Amino acid sequence: MSLELTAPAPEEPSVAADGTWLECIACGAQFAPFEDVRYTCDDCDGLLEVRYASPPTWDDFEGRGVWRYNAALPFEEGVSLPEGATPLHEVPRLEADVGVETLRVKHEGMNPTGSFKDRGMTVGVRVAKELGVGRLACASTGNTSAALAAYGARGGMETLVLLPAGKVAAGKIAQASLHDARILEVDGNFDSCLDIVQDLAARGEAYLLNSLNPFRLEGQKTIGLEILEEFHEDYGSYPDRIVLPVGNAGNTSALYKAFRELVQSGALDVDDVPKLTGVQAEGAAPMVEAIENGWDETRRWDDVETRATAIRIGNPVNAPKALPGIRETDGTAVAVSDEEITAAQRDLAAEGVGVEPASAASVAGLRKLRAEGVVDADEQVVCLTTGHLLKDPDAAFEAGDDPEPVPNDTEAVLEHLAE
């Protein structure tokens, strides 16, 4: 199945249900969407994508939030809290400092559990109910577990999360714990956790809701749809570039799929598709390595380390979908240091936008690419920030200013402020 941006709309196969089916991106095999549980291709183990006989146009959307875009989704409604409709912030001082014509920040930390993962879970948990599964499961660096636990609770379903021991921010573990998920801390990294969850899913012990699950990415497509709609409403055009953090590469894949479907329906001209630009931490950058070397696939990094815990991933499962997305849109990928990430986190905070470290990678990457001349001064750019500041309060405290002790006296406080 071609992932080219200009590929025509697919023809509906006999296995489709209400114009929806699953298709392998590697060999083109097609499957009914809800008859059996499957995450990868039965024939070649390739990644699956959800296909639609009638890709939507802008006129098909109404309402608010993720389910405004139900014409681009497999159901009319899902298990909802609700989610979506996140702000597209103006950041004028940061815009001027970076040196681009327009800079907006799409803050996904304003979703119900504080990250973009909620968009995928509202669809994924709805699919789980359609399939009649009992237990939901995920591997997580934190945000996925928080979202799955909340949406599993909302749907009245048992939830199991596997986390790398000692590698997940406390705020995220607290969310999963309070929403009554069963939390298993694995002596390994995120990729090890995902290996185990995939094995459990293959044995029928749980329904996997990591972004390997193609239905997760359907919800995440709506990030791109919201960006395009709101940006066009404000400027009468679409952004030249969207810069986003990359961990498992689910958002890169999802946004590219959203744009392809809009091109297929005629709602978006190929020349108006934004350049997808991925940013990774230097200590966990297999996607950047693949882009820089012209590889068709990533090579697994077994040893990964960065303070941006949400993107501390060495084997991005959605790379086969994301690499074409970056290349077909004439985008790129860049790695940034933890110090650059922290500086960008502070820059965003100075504009009143509070994000966790991984979110700030997008701004750090934009600044680096602008300095290198890869991004031009006349570009209109949207940076995606994926999680809220309170997801990792320890990191926020380390990046911020220290409290200043003062005596219990008004005059002493005034004297201190004057110094």
Binding site feature residues: 143, 247-251, 386
Q: What is the DSSP letter of 75?
A: S
Residue 334, by phi and psi: left (phi above 0), alpha (psi -120 to 50) or beta? beta
Return d(Cα 121, Cα 128) in angstroms, integer.
10
Tokens 């399939």 correspond to: 131
Q: Name the nearest CA neighbour of 360 among 326, 301, 320, 400.
A: 400
Alpha helices by DSSP H, 203-249? 214-235
Q: What is the DSSP letter of 363?
A: H
Return d(Cα 148, Cα 125) in angstroms, integer.
8
Angle at 376 between CA 373 and CA 381, to 5 degrees: 120
Q: What are residue 387's DSSP bridge partners?
A: 115
Tokens of 247: 């961990």
Binding site for pyridoxal 5'-phosphate: what residues are annotated?
143, 247-251, 386
Strand 241-245, strand 207-208: pairing:
unpaired
Q: Are 353 and 385 in contact (CB under 8 A)?
A: yes
- Report the greatest alpha carbon distance in the chain: 80
